[in-house]
């Protein structure tokens, strides 16, 4: 079972809210998931309002072999879960 960390849409029409979830790679976007590790509110006022992530759970799932979607990867960098790569 290949796992992926991705966004699951919740909320309502014209007010999107997303949960950052760990799910089987083959399940539908809003289908079954294994665990919720955070939330993303694209209409939040500040950066702290937009992304909340349990960093320990995210690192644990990545250590277990879960891959991230491109969007979630950028959100995790924004939240400080990953250090931004430094150039020499």
User: How far apart are alpha carbons 22 and 3 in whole angstroms?
Assistant: 7
The pTM of this model reads 0.85
Q: What is the pLDDT of residue 85?
A: 55
Ordered by start, the domain boundaries in the chain are 3-79
Q: What is the pLDDT of residue 84?
A: 55
Q: What average pLDDT does the structure give for the chain?
A: 88
Domain 3-79 matching CATH 3.30.1320.10: the answer reads: yes
Q: What is the pLDDT of residue 47?
A: 73
Average pLDDT, integer, range 68-81: 89
Q: How confident is the model at residue 87 (pLDDT cuts 50, 70, 90)?
A: low
Dihedral sign of CA atoms 58, 60, 66, 70 in order: positive
Average pLDDT, integer, range 62-68: 91
């Amino acid at each position: 079972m290949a796992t992926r960390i991705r966004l699951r849409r919740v909320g309502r029409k014209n007010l999107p809210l997303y949960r950052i979830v760990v799910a089987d790679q083959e399940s539908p976007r809003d289908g079954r998931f294994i665990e919720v590790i955070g939330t993303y509110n694209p209409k939040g006022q500040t950066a702290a309002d937009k992304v909340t992530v349990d960093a320990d759970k995210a690192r644990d799932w990545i250590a277990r072999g879960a891959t991230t979607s491109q969007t979630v990867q950028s959100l995790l960098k924004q939240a400080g879960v990953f250090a931004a790569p430094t150039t020499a």
